[in-house]
A and B are shown apart, each in its own frame.
Chain A
Amino acid sequence: MEEELKQIVESAKSGVNGVSNRAGFEAFKAEITGPNGSLTKVMKGMGKVAKEDRPIFGKLINQAKQQVQAVYDEAMSVIEAAEIAEKLGPAIDPSLPSPDSGPGSFHPLTQVREEICRIFKQIGFTVAEGTEVETEYYCFDALNTPKDHPARDLQDTFYMPDDADFANVSKKSDERYLLRTHTSSVQIRTMLKEKPPLRIISPGRCFRRDTVDATHSANFHQVEGLYVDKNVTVRDLKAILDYFFEQLLGKGTTTRFRPHFFPYTEPSFEVDFSSKHLAKLGSDWVEIAGCGMVEPEVFSSVGYDPEVYSGFAFGMGIERIAMIIYGIDDIRYFYQNDRRFLNQFA
């Protein structure tokens, strides 16, 4: 009896080595503690054992059961470890590159636009938006552009056919639809909606009927700014632009105003900057923006009293700024989207 149990345990210990998976384990288990298992048989023989021997016999069986269970547990943990190892596969080589694509990237024009917006946000300018399709009134008339101004020519501005009808671009009367030539139209629509004081910038896509070359594109992007309040001065305009360009191009950047002419500002200036941070440009003055004090006629056309309010407006090309700060020499790169170009700005 005792010998028999010993043998069962021994054979369990030796037999377990052949067990390598869950199915084998279950078969192995059945051979010992299954309904017809060797240990089960011994246990069934309990009834034939003399009553006085039963306690000892029971103790021996319990010992054997515990020993077999220990064999089971050991076998199970080996199987589980093997299973995990199989699931995990071989160890990683941390030096292999990730197979995933990337990086994603914002287009440089977006990055420059956002940088401009961020800087102006610091001094209280909010981003305003408008439609790319505009009407002649909001793009020209309200901005004091003479009826026969060359900018309105079919030569220079894209128009929609005369019968075009836009459901979500409102007209003043029955003027023509066109593709906006600047984002100043956003300023007009914003002024018509809101009362001063006002500080907005309007970044966006504009169109001019230009043949594409290294510096021209039929569509391009601009940021225009508008500030309206009481007692706004030329010096305030200079202060804002100085702040902006120093933030954008680095400390020590200076600007200078040159007299110019725009129908929607009086006086009007072009803005040059000089920055030691852009080695390529040296210390020369580089034209970068246009600006001026809002023309009283423009205020009249949006119902602001020019005797009470004054303000300034400015505008600059996003492509041009991007070309200057990144040293890009051809505007077409922006629109080709060659990955080797885009990735440089990722």
Chain B
Amino acid sequence: MKISLTWLQRYIDLPESPKELAACLTLLGFEVDDIQTTGVPQLENVLVGEVLERVQHPDADKLGVCRVALGTEVGEKSIVCGASNYKVGDRVPVALPGATLPGGFKIKRSKLRGVESDGMMCSGKEIGAGEDAAGLLILDGSPEIGTPINKILTESDTVFNLEVTPNRPDCLSHIGIARELAAWYRREVKYPSLDDLPSIESRLSGDDVFQGAKVECEEDCPLYRATVIKGVKIGPSPPWMQELLSSIGLRPINNVVDVTNFVLHESGNPLHAFDARDINGKKITVRNAAEGESMTTLDGEERKLASRMVVISDEKRALAIAGVMGGQNSEVKEDTTDLVLEVAYFNPTTIRWVSKNLALSTDSSYRFERGVDPKSLRFATDRAVQLILETAGGVVCGPESVAGSEPVSQNEIKLSPDWVRAKAGFDIPDAQIQENLELLDMVVSPGDDGADWTVSIPSYRGDLDRPIDLLEEVLRIYGTDKIPSGAVRATATGANDHPITEFARQSGAYLVGQHFSETVTYTLRSESEQNDWSEDVAAMQLGLKNPISEDQTQLRHSLIPGMLESLRLNQSRKTGATRFFETGRVFREVNGKLIEMLSVAFLECSQGGARSWKERGNDDFYLAKKRTEILAGFAGVDIGRFGINPIEGGDTAWQEGHAALIDDPRAGILVEIGLMNLERIKTLDILGEIVAGSFCILPERLRDAKRVKFQGFSLFPPSSKDLALVVDKNELASNVVRSVSKIATKATKNAFALEALDVFDVYEGEGVASDKKSIGVSMRFRSLERTLKDKEVNQAFEAIQSEIKAKTNYEIRD
């Protein structure tokens, strides 16, 4: 909200500098976004000049060549000028060569269409004195020729752009801010005097032009006042009012409209003036809009209304959208003579809804939706009447039409100063607490003998309801910058950080140790990126209801696409990056329900790194698998216990035959590992081959590491036996290991133990049928009690072999 210092000074004495005031407003809770000084800045070589003579430019119809007097020191100059609003004898600002005008425009001697020009005659806008750029600024009052322009145009203003928090609608006006500053500086607020208004009883009847207002929707409009003013003359408002309105960015329109705007920004009360001629039936009804009703607002827009909206209407049609904007059909025009002035209190919730649904926010709606003080309507009406009579003439008529009534209750809060000190945690004397509240126009009645105080709250402070609200007020005036620090109290014991935090820390530490750089990428991804991943993922309902842009419509299902995007950026910038990881949340759909999962993923790209004198191999599937196993381990998951399957089909983000998947929704985990689809990587404009791994888990499945229970181990030597098995080419090694382990465990049962079974060789080629492969497994046996004898091991080995022959379709290779 814009607050003009000049305007503010009408209500409070403020000798402080703008900077000091800004600091004070900040500490009162009104953040100052910026401070702007308007008016004529300090200008060198800009003087008052008098036009002595004007002749037509020989080669340009619109240019005149003027002889200008600039005083004894400078003498006369010849200046070419394009304006047409001046006459010989006018005094105007003249910028001489060497002057720099606002905006950095430097004045030089120059030729205009062949005629020498020795300076420039200026418009108001050109020297920063207002917005008028249409013609030269004609200086009133014949200032002395040759006077520096800053001696004539001394008016300047400072405008603060303040942030007013939503709980303080009472401060959306100059008087509101003046009240706050008055409390801070312990000064008086000088409210405008309304003594010169004709008394209600003395007013003549305005029945002939207006006969009253009624409210049909009392909940939306608890209070409505309409006042008739007859015989106004529409014209421009006085310069002081125009200047004040302009300073806060409002365009002066005419005296009556300017008064309504002025009062809005003076006291915070929105009001509206109707041309009485346009009120059919001479009566106003405040009612809900009819379904399908529409009207054209002052901005020329045709607005379709909904039945929850409230309109000000006559017997035929809507004249205004209540609390938001007036209608074109009843606006004040040049020939308006009789006015009906509306000052009302509309329900904040209603106005917020209307404003939102019409996508129309105005100075009025902004204030109504935050809450206008219903008790201020009387003052606002009188003030507007006073200013209209002053600036547009006319007579105010009676009787005043009032629908609804002011709330009568006086808000009071019980407060104990001991309680204030207990909440603050430091000492503030009773007297200071009382004074701080009183400075904010509260009436404090201390109780007898330590009883609670009774604090009466001014009607405009609708935000104050409870003692805790008053604590904030006491602290504000005390100065929140003076709240003392103290010792850190530690009354609650610490605990372990959340398992999600610990998992991310462990995963990150491991991958950083493996030379991966952590990325942070956006959660929101594009639909096409999601669709490109796989058919399954494309079918997931991960879209937002209200995305902000096309490339951020979906929740990410994996961390990998974001990392690929970063990789592409690094490749195009030739930064040498090849290894990334990320931890974060991903989202998926399983069995028709969405889930949020915790994920860690990493990738390595074979290209883009720095060249080196020595080649290092790139990551392969099995290294990525190992890394993923380790990461899963941090989550308490042994992924060796889950079935892992090759990813099939060429239409996924993974390369068929070189990537694998563990998808176990019941356990809440999803693992993807392997080579990224070469074709797709290419279409992403990424060079090289990418091996990636991704581990996702439902956060609620994270387990703290279990306390280890020690297991005794054998001190006797092991005995090993190797077997080569010919199996189907597409048989998974894990199946072979599982079957053989089972058989071997059974064969050695009770006597000794199969300690380990490792795959030590995988072979395809000569000596093995083309649809088969050979898997070599090594079994290690050991006993807890003794050194194993060859005989018992051989016996077991034979039993294992015959069992394999009998129970599996594996062929034992000699």
A contact set with B: CB distance below 8 Å: 96-97, 99-107, 109-110, 114, 117, 121, 123-129, 131-133, 148, 153-154, 158-162, 164-169, 179, 196-199, 203, 205, 207, 209-211, 217-219, 227, 229, 231, 233-236, 238-240, 242-243, 256-261, 266-270, 293, 295-296, 310, 334-340, 342-343, 346
Contacts and interface: CB of A to CB of B under 8 A. Distances in A.
Interface in B275-324: none
B623 interface: no
Given A165-B593, A269-B480, A110 B494 contact: no
Contacts of A164: 541, 594
Nearest to B505: A114
Interface stretch (B21-29, B198-206, B386-394, B767-775): B21-29
A210 B552 CA distance: 11
A153 B587 contact: no
Interface in B410-448: 422-426
A329 to B, nearest CB: 18
Contacts of B700: 168
A276 to B, nearest CB: 18
B167 interface: yes
Interface of B: 26-29, 31, 165-168, 349, 352-353, 356, 422-426, 466, 468-469, 471-472, 475-476, 480-481, 483-498, 500-501, 505, 508, 511-524, 541, 543-549, 552, 555, 563, 566, 569-570, 573, 575-580, 584-585, 587, 590, 592-596, 609, 612-616, 698-700
Given A101-B578, A129-B498, 7 more contacts: A102-B515, A106-B512, A233-B423, A234-B483, A236-B425, A258-B29, A259-B29
A173 B764 CA distance: 61
B475 A259 contact: yes
A121 B494 contact: yes
B481 A218 contact: no
Given A102-B515, A168-B595, A339-B577, A132 B585 contact: yes
A94 to B, nearest CB: 14
B566 A337 contact: yes
Nearest to A271: B480
Contacts of A168: 595-596, 698-700
B577 A233 contact: no
Contacts of B593: 165-167
B537 to A, nearest CB: 17
B520 A267 contact: no
A70 to B, nearest CB: 37
Contacts of B476: 259
**Ranked 9 nearest A-B pairs via Cβ:** A233-B425, A235-B425, A267-B472, A259-B29, A261-B165, A339-B577, A104-B512, A197-B492, A127-B497
Contacts of B167: 261
Contact of A342 (B472, B517, B612, B614): B517
A114 to B, nearest CB: 8
A128 B498 contact: yes
B522 A219 contact: yes
A233 B490 CA distance: 13
Contacts of A258: 26-27, 29, 31, 480-481
Given A126-B494, A166-B593, A296-B468, A105 B545 contact: no
Contacts of B596: 131-133, 166, 168-169
5 contacts: A129-B498, A161-B545, A218-B552, A235-B425, A266-B472
Contacts of A117: 497, 501
A257 to B, nearest CB: 4
B520 A239 contact: no
Contacts of A165: 592-594
A100 B513 CA distance: 12
Nearest to A161: B545
B519 to A, nearest CB: 4
A132 B515 CA distance: 29
A293 B466 CA distance: 14
A106 B548 contact: no
A117 B593 CA distance: 34
B517 A238 contact: no
B492 A266 contact: no
B426 A336 contact: no
Contact of A124 (B31, B490, B545, B613): B490
Given A258-B31, A261-B165, A132 B485 contact: no
B490 A293 contact: no
Contacts of B484: 235, 238
A123 B488 contact: yes
A334 B520 contact: yes
Nearest to B499: A129
B517 A343 contact: yes
Contacts of B505: 114
A295 B469 CA distance: 10
Contact of A218 (B468, B483, B500, B522): B522
Nearest to B477: A259
A259 B473 CA distance: 9
Contacts of A129: 498, 500-501, 699
Contacts of A296: 466, 468
Given A129-B498, A258-B480, A105 B566 contact: no
Nearest to A127: B497
A234 B29 contact: no
Nearest to B579: A101
A298 to B, nearest CB: 12
A209 B546 contact: yes
B725 to A, nearest CB: 34
Contacts of B616: 99-101
Contacts of A127: 497-498, 501
Given A164-B594, A338-B575, A99 B570 contact: no
A103 to B, nearest CB: 7
Given A129-B699, A219-B522, A199 B494 contact: yes
B508 A234 contact: no
Given A260-B165, A293-B468, A336-B569, A126 B486 contact: no
A133 B563 CA distance: 22
A337 B572 CA distance: 13
B20 to A, nearest CB: 15
B595 A166 contact: yes
A177 B227 CA distance: 49
A245 to B, nearest CB: 11
A126 B495 contact: yes
A219 to B, nearest CB: 5
Contacts of A231: 422
A190 to B, nearest CB: 10
Contacts of A197: 491-492
Contacts of A257: 480-481, 483
A243 B486 CA distance: 9
A239 B31 contact: no
A177 B669 CA distance: 23
B518 to A, nearest CB: 4
Contacts of B165: 260-261
Contacts of B570: 337-339
B491 A229 contact: yes
B423 A123 contact: no
A317 to B, nearest CB: 14
A126 B496 contact: yes
A238 B494 contact: no
B464 to A, nearest CB: 11
Contacts of A203: 501
Nearest to A255: B485
A234 B424 contact: yes
A203 B423 CA distance: 28
A106 B583 CA distance: 11
B485 A242 contact: yes
B546 A337 contact: no
Given A96-B613, A261-B165, A211 B483 contact: no
A335 to B, nearest CB: 6
A260 B613 contact: no
A205 B556 CA distance: 13
Contacts of A293: 423, 468
